[in-house]
């Protein structure tokens, strides 16, 4: 029996190639992918070869009708968002169940860094996860036996991570003239453009410096520093 092919609507994602890679995998598996871009930063992280894309340039008040029209036009079965509380995602998340559309929400991981969370319908306060210990223990009895946990030691390189973190705000600054509405309506309350890119670079440099110091501390025990100070 073949799995039923589905149609995915992608809204705003993360500042990295993650959405592109996910969309490519879905398309390769035979599913349809449609993307809505809200600003130049979104466009920078999307390749049209992964599926049809649309640029929304209207005010936020028009989003509910716009999203519903895409659901109907492409027979959307699922939608993918990063953050269920963003103003541009609220119309899609709030109206999806009534339209028979499943919502898949990515968010910053409950365990950070290096992780992102994927849940159905909502995350954090809107998560479908149980609210009590008993709520976790009961379904755990029916889970398969997973292999024992292992040490997770990711090796994220400074240059690509910094490029990913700065591409979105830099593209947003470059595209504000062509897409002025995006500057007013989307991702409000955040520092935008080149200042945000510079903040990202500064943050990456600081984290690299801290990791270097931690590495030195592990390599040379406190006794070494005491002996050096005595000299």
Residue 197 confidence class, pLDDT cut points 50, 70, 90? low
Return the structure tokens found at 215: 């590495």
Render pLDDT for 34-74 as a digit per residue (tens, 0 to 9).
999 988 878 888 876 677 899 998 888 999 999 999 999 99
- How many domains does the chain fold into? 2
Residue 138 confidence class, pLDDT cut points 50, 70, 90? confident
Q: How many whole angstroms separate alpha carbon 8 and alpha carbon 50?
A: 11
Does a structural domain hold residue 141?
A: no
In this structure, the answer to whether residues 171 and 117 fall within a common structural domain is: no
The pair phi, psi for residue 149, each rounded to 5°, is -65, 150
User: Do 30 and 101 form a contact (C-beta atoms < 8 A)?
Assistant: no
The per-residue pLDDT for 183 is: 41
Does a structural domain hold residue 132?
A: no
Compute the average pLDDT of residues 78-101. Answer: 93
Predicted TM-score (pTM) of this structure: 0.71
Q: How many whole angstroms separate alpha carbon 140 and alpha carbon 154?
A: 28
Does a structural domain hold residue 144?
A: no
Q: Look up the domain containing 37 and give its range.
A: 7-127
In this structure, the answer to whether residues 93 and 168 fall within a common structural domain is: no
Q: How many whole angstroms separate alpha carbon 206 and alpha carbon 196?
A: 15
User: Do 77 and 101 form a contact (C-beta atoms < 8 A)?
Assistant: yes
Q: How many whole angstroms separate alpha carbon 124 and alpha carbon 135?
A: 16
Does a structural domain hold residue 98?
A: yes
In this structure, the answer to whether residues 48 and 118 fall within a common structural domain is: yes
Instruction: Residue 44: give its domain's CATH number.
Output: 3.40.50.10320
User: Do 96 and 79 form a contact (C-beta atoms < 8 A)?
Assistant: yes
Domain final residue pick, 127, 144, 170: 127
In this structure, the answer to whether residues 80 and 192 fall within a common structural domain is: no
In this structure, the answer to whether residues 107 and 198 fall within a common structural domain is: no
In this structure, the answer to whether residues 34 and 116 fall within a common structural domain is: yes
In this structure, the answer to whether residues 123 and 163 fall within a common structural domain is: no
Does a structural domain hold residue 145?
A: no
CA dist list (Å): 15 to 18, 26, 47, 115: 8, 19, 14, 14
Residue 219, pLDDT above cutoff 60 = no
Render pLDDT for 154-194 as a digit per residue (tens, 0 to 9).
666 666 666 766 666 666 655 555 555 554 344 444 445 45
Compute the average pLDDT of residues 101-112. Answer: 87
Give the strand order in the sheet containing 7-10: 52-55, 32-37, 7-10, 78-82, 102-108, 116-120
CA 160 distance to own-chain centroid: 16
In this structure, the answer to whether residues 11 and 123 fall within a common structural domain is: yes
- Strand 52-55 and strand 32-37: the pairing is parallel
In this structure, the answer to whether residues 104 and 55 fall within a common structural domain is: yes
Q: How many whole angstroms separate alpha carbon 14 and alpha carbon 165?
A: 9
């Amino acid at each position: 029996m073949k799995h039923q092919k589905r149609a995915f609507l992608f809204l705003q994602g993360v500042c990295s190639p993650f959405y592109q890679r996910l969309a490519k995998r879905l398309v390769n598996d035979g599913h349809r992918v449609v993307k809505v871009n809200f600003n130049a930063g979104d466009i920078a992280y999307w390749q049209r070869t992964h599926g049809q894309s649309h640029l929304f340039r209207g005010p936020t008040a028009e989003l509910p009708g716009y999203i519903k029209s895409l659901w109907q036009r492409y027979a959307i079965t699922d939608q993918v968002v990063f953050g269920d509380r963003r103003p541009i995602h609220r119309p899609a998340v709030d109206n999806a169940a009534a339209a028979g559309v499943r919502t898949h929400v990515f968010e910053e991981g409950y365990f950070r860094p290096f992780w992102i969370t994927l849940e159905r319908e909502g995350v954090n306060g809107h998560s479908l996860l149980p609210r009590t210990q008993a709520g976790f223990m009961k379904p755990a009895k029916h889970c398969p036996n997973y292999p024992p946990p292992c040490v997770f030691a990711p090796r994220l390189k400074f240059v690509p991570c910094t490029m990913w973190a700065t591409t979105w705000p830099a593209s947003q600054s470059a595209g504000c003239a062509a897409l002025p509405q995006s500057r007013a309506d989307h991702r409000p309350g955040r520092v935008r453009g080149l200042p945000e890119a510079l903040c990202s670079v500064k943050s990456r440099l600081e984290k690299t410096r801290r990791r270097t110091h931690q590495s030195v501390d592990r390599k040379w025990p406190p006794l070494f520093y005491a002996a050096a100070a005595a000299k």
